């Protein structure tokens, strides 16, 4: 992705062992272009195949994982 100009690396000011990956303008454009097809695919392959109780379970799990 870096070679394609979609992101660039920057030093992590809080952790010298790693780096930050920063989305470039070209990367933001690629993301915006890909987003509609990605969302449609997630809906078709995941959301639309689940019954309401299944979706409620996924939501419950997501909330648990998001807790501090």
Is residue 55 in a domain?
yes
pLDDT at 68: 76
pLDDT at 13: 92
pLDDT at 57: 97
pLDDT digit string, tens, across residues 7-46:
999 999 999 899 999 999 999 999 999 999 999 999 999 9
| 48 has pLDDT over 90 | yes
User: What span, in angstroms and rounded, lies between the C-alpha atoms of 9 and 21?
Assistant: 5
Please provide the size of the chain in residues: 68
Is residue 34 in a domain?
yes
Is residue 2 in a domain?
no
Domain containing residue 27: CATH number: 1.10.10.10
Q: How many domains does the chain have?
A: 1
For 47, the domain range is 7-66
pLDDT at 16: 87
| 6 has pLDDT over 80 | yes
User: What span, in angstroms and rounded, lies between the C-alpha atoms of 44 and 23?
Assistant: 28
Which DSSP state fits 17? T
């Amino acid at each position: 992705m870096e070679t394609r100009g979609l992101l660039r690396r920057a030093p992590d000011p809080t952790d010298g062992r790693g780096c930050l990956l920063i989305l470039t303008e070209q990367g933001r454009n690629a993301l915006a272009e890909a987003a509609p097809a990605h969302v449609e695919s997630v809906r078709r392959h995941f959301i639309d195949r689940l019954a309401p109780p299944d979706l409620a379970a996924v939501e419950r799990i997501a909330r648990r994982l998001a807790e501090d």
